[in-house]
Structure 1
């Protein structure tokens, strides 16, 4: 097992309007991307469980030409509202970093 933070080129988040967050997981190695893709670990259901939303509320896109996955999900609090701790949504990617992928990085 290896954590996503050790193999992905980037995991990032940003606002997708005031009510949604977009998450990106990107690779720069096509072979590694395909190994991760073949595990089936990165799914809308996983994203939903990490962020406390319903899977049907996650717009999930796997995009092999860019070696990436993208997920858009509802924010738990609107951007800039009382109690919002990240107005730009730029620090919401942390739960992605510890996703465990069942591969050997020596492959």
Structure 2
């Protein structure tokens, strides 16, 4: 059975990691959910690339942080922060595609 990320996580957010990179954070509700997602291999660069419509090679890294039941994704911003055409200088609205994620648990 698949469940929405909204049911599995307390926090889903994005922020800048400098003007050229974006960080996506997911903090899962508990250790059991976190461990299952981590060990299942469902959350990977290809999934992020698919929902953000980028090349998987562009996803710089995925970092699992066990003490916080969290996963962090570092990827390039689509447009440099603060440049002409940037509509989200802080990168705080870029997590929206993650809200569509579903995982088998």
TM-score by length of 2: 0.89
Residue among 83, 95, 99 paired with 2:97? 95
RMSD: 1.3
Q: 2:40 maps to which residue?
A: 39
CA shift for structure 1 position 29:
0.8
How far apart are the structure 2 equivalents of 1:63 and 1:46? 19
Offset from partner CA, 1:29-83 (integer Å, 9 cap, x none) = 1112122223322111111221122222212112223211111111111111121
State the shift of 1:100 in Å. Answer: 0.9
2:21·2:75 contact (CA, 8 Å) conserved in 1? yes
Q: TM-score, normalised by structure 1?
A: 0.87
Structure having the higher strand fraction is 2
**Deviant stretches of 4+, over 6 Å:** none
Structure 2 segments unaligned to the other structure (5+ residues):
none
- The size of the alignment, in residue pairs, is 103
